[in-house]
Chain A
Amino acid sequence: DQQVKQNSPSLSVQEGRISILNCDYTNSMFDYFLWYKKYPAEGPTFLISISSIKDKNEDGRFTVFLNKSAKHLSLHIVPSQPGDSAVYFCAASNYQGAQKLVFGQGTRLTINP
């Protein structure tokens, strides 16, 4: 039972354009969502988060959008840069739990020059 799904295993985007990574979840108890970025042979690095009381959170080139009714979130990267090439994981948790994160399968983003 995959509670958090990233249906696109890979995405290729031209440098300077917008990258949009998508994530769907099924558990309506989730109320906190995070995006992590992972380079090969390194641990995941926290990128940006959003709580369910918001529908948008921005940090520099990165914006996360949350659509609670559709149980969908997305990460927008504008403009995309070569250093953004990595695997991106979305994760979800709830305030009442012991902060146990449930991860999606990941999307490999490749930025082409």
Chain B
Amino acid sequence: DAGITQSPRHKVTETGTPVTLRCHQTENHRYMYWYRQDPGHGLRLIHYSYGVKDTDKGEVSDGYSVSRSKTEDFLLTLESATSSQTSVYFCAISEGQGAETQYFGPGTRLLVL
């Protein structure tokens, strides 16, 4: 299994509060991704990173920001959580640019009340 951990694994928060999710990898892979999974939508890309301090938006980036100060860590922040951000969040990694496989972490289940 790819060395990917996510923390926390579960979180309940209130509308309007900031939330940060962490993804940590031990594979030294260049690319890291954040997805959300919702019923009827599969997985949708929020943001991705192609190196330290290099990030870009995905399909559903509104309301989210990311940071990557070290190769091994990729943080996803909800500046002011809303109920529509209740979801399961998955981090993924891949070695580099090209048609390569992405490997996923175990997920974080977030409930925004």
Contact = CB atoms under 8 A, between A and B. Distances in A.
Interface of A: 4, 6, 31-32, 34, 36, 41-46, 49, 51, 89, 91, 93-95, 98-106
A43 B104 contact: yes
B101 A49 contact: yes
Interface in B64-90: 90
Interface in B14-53: 31, 33, 35, 40-45, 48, 50
Nearest to A36: B104
12 contacts: A34-B101, A42-B107, A43-B4, A44-B104, A93-B99, A98-B56, A99-B31, A101-B33, A101-B45, A101-B102, A102-B59, A105-B40
Interface residues of B, number: 28
A95 B104 contact: no
B40 A98 contact: no
Contacts of A89: 42-43
Contacts of B99: 31-32, 49, 51, 93-95, 99
Contacts of A42: 106-107
Nearest to B45: A100
